[in-house]
Chains A and B, each alone.
Chain A
Amino acid sequence: MSIDVPTLRDAEPDRLFGAADAYAVLATAVGEHADTWRDGVDARVRGSGWSGDAAADAERSLARSSAKLVAAQLELVRIAPVLREGAEAFLLAQAKLRAALADAASGGYRVADDGGVSWPPSAAERHDPDAPDRARQGAALRDRIAEALTEAAHADQVTAERLRRHTDAARTGAGLDPAFAATELASTALSSAFGGGPEDLVRAGLPGPDAPPTEVNAWWKSLPADERQRLVTEYPAEIGNRDGIPALARDRANRIHLDRLIAELSNRQDPSEQDRKKLAGFQAVRDRLRDDQGKQPPSYLLVIGDQGQGRAALSYGDPDTADDVVAYVPGLNTEVRNLGGGDANRARDLWQTAHDLDPTRTTASIAWLGYDAPQAKEFGPDALAVAGDARAKQGGEAYQGFLQGLRAAHEGPPAHLTALGHSYGSLTVGQAAQRPGGIPVDDVILVGSPGTGAQHAAQLGVDPAHVWVGAAEHDPVSHLPSQREATGAGTGAVVGGLVGGLPGAVLGGFLGDHLGRHGDPHELWFGQDPASAEFGARRFDVADGPLGFASHSDYWNQGDGRDGHSLRNMGMIVSGHGDRVSGQERR
């Protein structure tokens, strides 16, 4: 059935709560009657000393009556929650509708009973620059109203269907069958524990997979507190990983989900290599959360999942209330176990640096692994060539949603939000930034970057004055493969020397193949070298680092002199003091 606007607007689903309470009272009363019957009649007859065939028949008959009374009580017990859940879902739909109607009224839109939206045509509609906006807003209102009506109709239908089962059971007498009642009760318990069985109407209101995080957040906030708590414990995987849900709820849900993932993987027969890695990773994350318990800054588990190589994100500080939020994307060779180790350290060290620089501001520092980072334990140009940009593109989509979720769930004035990518993670950040809609950040930091896929910082969707690059001169990844280094010092010699030990000829051949396709001296494997003048970003000072790969991870060093510059500069940017960053000449 469909529901029209006045019906939903003026409905009084509150009455269903009254009915639910009445059924609960009735169930209790029937239960008491059943007790009275059992103790007063059934038990007395059994204990009367009456014997013989007639007595046996009477006992059987009395026992059947006792069982029927219990079954009837169980049936009645189940009706109250059906009514309550239906009323809850109906109220939510009604709240949505009323909010849309209020917005329509204040914007001068007319809403018809069937949900159609119209507005008085402007005298000079064709020349009115606002006309397309009016049409867009009108369409958005229409969609919101239609959605509320659909949800209400759905809640109505599901509730009616459930009640029909009870009335059918009452009419046919099945409701008095103890076996039937027991099965029904069990299915209710199972459905609440595993999400199967009868549909959960409140959860069904969760916006669809393509809904923006703002909508998810609005839905969440519309729920009563006990419903939110119930969803966290009953659907931890869905609630914990859904962008737009507040960090505290995500954290609670994900910790439940994490325990389940560990239990499930621990009990798996013949686990694969991947399973073992994921299990070790999840255990490392759990150990880390335990280690952080009661410490400052507190940690929040914002993502956990077993898709692909595994997913995890950890925040030091509450991103929903912090003044400054940074979300760091790690790169090459990062697995879930790193989120419980080195990446958690990097996030905490950056939090600490920002805090030391400006303790009047609150900070949340996140390490986010919401994608499959390329794994290549042996370094070579192939490490990146084989990886390609597919993982960064997929990761970029997830990262974009994650950042939008941070924005949507933030309380009070918007946070100063920074995206940070290291190594291949900077390509992921770059790919996210180049998606339609871009990323809702104030600053972007790229360190140890093999490129972003962009030719110019402006393509990342933020003012190039807020695109920051850290590139250690001796970090081979930040040089690979750049034509100037290759041609300036003999093919592959410089990069070969940086890598320390790899035959220059191997790299040289690779470089030669690759460079044949490009004329730009600063063209990296993934677009323009972010540290180059042509890219147009601001390069901050980073120590050159030692030869070899140590310099690829030196960006979080807290050493003396220039060695600590990278972390200090990132702390400045994250805490909103980019004007104090110490710069370095671009390549």
Chain B
Amino acid sequence: MNEHDPRHPAPTDLGTARDAIDELLDTAAAAISPPLRWADGPYTAVEHEHPYTREPDGTAHLEKRRYLMTRVAADRYPELLGQLEAYWRGRGWAVSAEPDPVLPVLRAESPSGAVELRIGIPGNATLLARVAPVPAVGTGYPFGGASTVPLGPDGALDTVPRHDDPYWSGREGRRG
């Protein structure tokens, strides 16, 4: 990266990065009670390039999404976010929140990488963990494309929550 850009420390090797991502996602999901249902996307690598010359700089970031498949009622989201925040703060990580009252994003910086929960417009939510930098290895899918995300009738990712939970989904969810 650019010599004036202080944001890029030495790369973490890919295997270590993958383990860190799994740990960040698994512990976040496990911190929520009662448990929710999730579906995992693949590990994706995004290569970095020089911001002006556009030459690759040999590094990338590795990330993975874990999509929430349980319907969570709007009035349950504060509790969901509260549980996560308490867990992340309990580990001593810096936690920040997007100041968007309707579509919150909650983030934590761990020593090994970043993890966040972002809420989408129809009430979906995505856990995302990211480690940067890692070495660029010439593929966007260094661990293959394996995914547990359901596909819709058009063959595209369908990550709209579909499962009801007596606690999280609320009356609206149970009725649907």
Q: List residues of A (521-552) whose CB comes within 8 Å of B's CBs.
A: 546-552
> Closest residue of chain A to B99, judged by CB?
A582
Q: Is A333 located at the chain interface by the 8 A CB criterion? A: yes
Are the CB atoms of B47 and A345 closer together than 8 Å? yes
Out of A292, A548, A564, name the residue touching B2 (CB < 8 Å).
A548
> Closest residue of chain B to A547, judged by CB?
B4
Q: List residues of B (8-45) whose CB comes within 8 Å of A's CBs.
A: 41-42
Q: Is A487 located at the chain interface by the 8 A CB criterion? A: no
How would residues 475 to 505 of chain A score, 1 for a CB under 8 Å from any chain B CB and 0 otherwise?
Answer: 0000000000000000000000000110000
How would residues 560 to 587 of chain A score, 1 for a CB under 8 Å from any chain B CB and 0 otherwise?
Answer: 1100100010000001010010100000
Q: Is B138 located at the chain interface by the 8 A CB criterion? A: yes
Complex interface: chain A residues within 8 A of B158 (CB) = 359
Complex interface: chain A residues within 8 A of B126 (CB) = 356
Report B93 CB to chain A, min CB distance, Å: 11
Are the CB atoms of A359 and B124 closer together than 8 Å? yes
Q: List residues of B (111-163) whose CB comes within 8 Å of A's CBs.
A: 114, 116, 118, 120-122, 124, 126, 128, 130, 138-141, 145, 147, 149, 151, 154-160
Prevailing SS type, chain A contact patch: loop
Q: Is B165 located at the chain interface by the 8 A CB criterion? A: no
Q: Is A413 located at the chain interface by the 8 A CB criterion? A: no
Report A381 CB to chain B, min CB distance, Å: 14
How would residues 235 to 274 of chain A score, 1 for a CB under 8 Å from any chain B CB and 0 otherwise?
Answer: 0000000000000000000000000000000000000000
Q: Is B6 located at the chain interface by the 8 A CB criterion? A: yes
Q: Is B54 located at the chain interface by the 8 A CB criterion? A: yes
A-B contact count (CB 8 A): 121
Please report the total number of B residues contacting A with Cβ < 8 Å. 53
Q: Is A379 located at the chain interface by the 8 A CB criterion? A: yes
Report B56 CB to chain A, min CB distance, Å: 6
Are the CB atoms of A296 and B2 closer together than 8 Å? no
Are the CB atoms of A359 and B157 closer together than 8 Å? yes
Report B160 CB to chain A, min CB distance, Å: 5
Out of B4, B52, B149, name the residue touching A546 (CB < 8 Å).
B4
User: Which of B70-78, B101-109, B167-175 lines the interface with chain A?
Assistant: B101-109
Out of A292, A355, A501, name the residue touching B159 (CB < 8 Å).
A355
> Closest residue of chain A to B53, judged by CB?
A377
Given A560-B96, A560-B114; A548-B157 close (CB under 8 Å) = no
| Alpha-carbon separation in the docked complex, A580 to B49 (Å) | 30
Report A211 CB to chain B, min CB distance, Å: 31
| Alpha-carbon separation in the docked complex, A136 to B51 (Å) | 51
Are the CB atoms of A333 and B116 closer together than 8 Å? no
Are the CB atoms of B157 and A342 closer together than 8 Å? no
| Alpha-carbon separation in the docked complex, A206 to B93 (Å) | 62
Are the CB atoms of B147 and A341 closer together than 8 Å? no
Q: Is A425 located at the chain interface by the 8 A CB criterion? A: no
Q: Is A334 located at the chain interface by the 8 A CB criterion? A: yes
| Alpha-carbon separation in the docked complex, A332 to B160 (Å) | 38
Given A360-B160, A377-B53, A548-B2; A291-B122 close (CB under 8 Å) = no
> Closest residue of chain A to B7, judged by CB?
A546
Complex interface: chain B residues within 8 A of A551 (CB) = 51
Report A507 CB to chain B, min CB distance, Å: 15
A→B interface (CB under 8 Å): 287-288, 291-292, 294-298, 317, 321, 332-335, 338, 341-342, 345, 348-349, 352, 355-360, 362, 377, 379, 500-501, 546-554, 558, 560-561, 564, 568, 575, 577, 580, 582
Q: A295-B42, A296-B151, A549-B4 are in contact. List 13 more A-B contacts (CB 8 A).
A: A296-B156, A341-B49, A348-B46, A356-B118, A358-B121, A358-B122, A359-B160, A362-B156, A547-B4, A550-B51, A552-B51, A568-B98, A580-B103
Complex A-B: 23 CB contacts under 8 Å: A287-B138, A295-B140, A296-B149, A296-B157, A297-B157, A333-B52, A335-B54, A338-B49, A341-B49, A342-B47, A342-B49, A352-B65, A355-B159, A356-B120, A359-B124, A359-B158, A360-B160, A379-B52, A549-B50, A551-B51, A552-B52, A568-B98, A580-B102
